[in-house]
């Protein structure tokens, strides 16, 4: 092989600048790998710690405090919540517990809170019976005129009684009946303030009629038709009528008094029909 045909081999060694660049890239790569390993280990550690917390008896529900209950006992409230004694406070669904409590007929609203390490606080707002509606069965009515539960044997019955409706009417005309009950509350409050003989102690029941409105039946058997509105005006008319019939000696004979007219009252007595 001649000198001209011999291949030319150039042995070029990397300079100091290239070596520094390579080392820099290697350090960045190693640092990234180290950070990734540390992050993965931290996540795994947190996950393991969380799983341990979920199974630690320290965070199990140890105490349930109930506030706002008057009629319902603490045991009844807890039963309505369907809480499990082995629940973990970190995983318990508080909204689901509150929703179950609101399904109870006596509970209007409910809120549930957690307090670490093992306490649940239940705050409820109970319904307060205001009256009883007889519509095939007896139902308690709350202060918002909502029928919320049937009466059970032994339940208190010393409340104003609304009658005149059937169970079928209750199903079909629920909102209208609720409005009549609401009007009945207004009438009862007016009668209680009036100082007449038509206070709650003298009233046996309030009869409801979807067309005619409200009729008060006294404990003596007298029926007084008030209709659906202008109760204060009609109560004044009742006072004048009572004075007139008392003076004429007809008051004790008046069995049905209709005040549901613009300018007069009609009276039906045992003897005849009188106008006052």
Percent of residues, the chain, with pLDDT higher than 90:
60
Location of structure tokens 């799983």: 51
Fold of 59-126: Ubiquitin-like (UB roll) (3.10.20)
The contacts of residue 15 (CB under 8 Å, 6+ apart) are none
**What band does 81 get if pLDDT is binned at 50, 70 and 90?**
very high
Q: Output the pLDDT for position 22.
A: 66
DSSP 3-state assignment of 43? helix
Q: Output the pLDDT for position 198.
A: 85
Percent of residues, the chain, with pLDDT higher than 70:
77
Q: Would you tell me how many other CB atoms lie within 10 Å of the CB of residue 177? A: 23
User: Is the pLDDT at 62 greater than 60, yes or no?
Assistant: yes
Q: For residue 160, which of 197, 125, 134, 127 has the smallest C-alpha distance?
A: 134
**What band does 163 get if pLDDT is binned at 50, 70 and 90?**
very high
Look at 63-67, 155-159, 200-204 and tell me which has the smallest mean pLDDT. 200-204
Q: Output the pLDDT for position 2.
A: 54
CA distances from 155 to 79, 129, 139, 167, 272 (A): 20, 11, 11, 21, 43
Instruction: Report the C-alpha gap between 66 and 125 in whole angstroms.
Output: 11
Q: Output the pLDDT for position 274.
A: 46
Q: Which residues of 129-139 are buried (b: 16+ CB within 10 A; e: fewer)?
A: bbbbbbbeeeb
Look at 71-75, 86-90, 187-191 and tell me which has the smallest mean pLDDT. 86-90
* CA triple 214-215-220, angle to 5 deg: 155
CA distances from 133 to 107, 125, 164 (A): 19, 22, 9
CATH 3.10.20.310 in the chain: give the residue spans.
59-126
CATH 3.40.50.11690 in the chain: give the residue spans.
129-275
User: Is the pLDDT at 70 greater than 80, yes or no?
Assistant: yes
Instruction: Pick the more confident residue, 110 or 38.
Output: 110
107-162 pLDDT per residue, tens:
999 999 999 888 999 999 999 999 999 999 999 999 999 999 999 999 999 999 99
Q: Helix, strand, coil % (nearest 5) of the chain?
A: 40, 25, 35
175-200 pLDDT per residue, tens:
999 999 999 999 999 999 887 778 87
Query: What are 189's two structure tokens?
Result: 């409050």
Instruction: Pick the more confident residue, 217 or 27.
Output: 217
DSSP 3-state assignment of 127? coil
User: What is the phi/psi pair of residue 169, to 5°?
Assistant: -65, -35
**What band does 53 get if pLDDT is binned at 50, 70 and 90?**
low
Q: Is domain 129-275 in CATH 3.40.50.11690, yes or no? A: yes
User: Is the pLDDT at 9 greater than 90, yes or no?
Assistant: no
Q: Output the pLDDT for position 261.
A: 86
Mean pLDDT score across all residues of the chain: 85
The contacts of residue 226 (CB under 8 Å, 6+ apart) are 187, 213, 214, 215, 216, 234, 259, 260
Is the pTM value of this prediction over 0.85? no
DSSP 3-state assignment of 262? coil
User: Is the pLDDT at 263 greater than 90, yes or no?
Assistant: no
Q: Output the pLDDT for position 268.
A: 87
């Amino acid at each position: 092989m001649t000198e001209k045909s011999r291949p030319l081999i150039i042995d070029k060694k990397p300079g100091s600048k290239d070596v520094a660049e390579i080392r820099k890239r290697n350090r960045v790569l190693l640092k990234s790998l180290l950070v990734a390993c540390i992050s993965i280990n931290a996540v795994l550690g947190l996950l393991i710690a969380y799983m341990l917390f979920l199974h630690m008896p320290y965070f199990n529900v140890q105490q349930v405090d109930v506030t706002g209950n008057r009629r319902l006992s603490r045991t009844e409230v807890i039963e309505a919540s369907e809480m499990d004694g082995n629940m973990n406070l970190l995983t318990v669904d508080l909204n689901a517990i509150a929703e179950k409590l609101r399904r109870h007929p006596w509970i209007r609203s409910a809120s549930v809170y957690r307090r670490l390490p093992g306490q649940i606080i239940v705050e409820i707002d109970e319904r307060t019976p205001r009256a009883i509606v007889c519509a095939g069965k007896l139902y308690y009515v709350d202060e918002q005129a909502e029928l919320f539960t049937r009466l059970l044997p032994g339940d208190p019955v010393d409340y104003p009684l609304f009658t005149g409706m059937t169970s079928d009417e209750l199903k079909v005309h629920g909102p209208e009946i609720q409005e009549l009950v609401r009007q009945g509350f207004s009438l009862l409050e007016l009668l209680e303030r009036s100082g007449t003989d038509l206070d709650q102690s003298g009233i046996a029941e309030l009869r409801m009629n979807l067309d005619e409105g409200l009729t008060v039946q006294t404990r003596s058997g007298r029926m007084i038709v008030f209709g659906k509105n202008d109760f204060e005006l009609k109560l004044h008319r009742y006072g004048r009528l009572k004075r007139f019939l008392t003076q004429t000696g007809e008051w004790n004979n008046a069995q049905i008094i209709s005040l549901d007219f613009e300018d007069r009252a009609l009276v039906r007595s045992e003897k005849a029909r009188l106008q006052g």
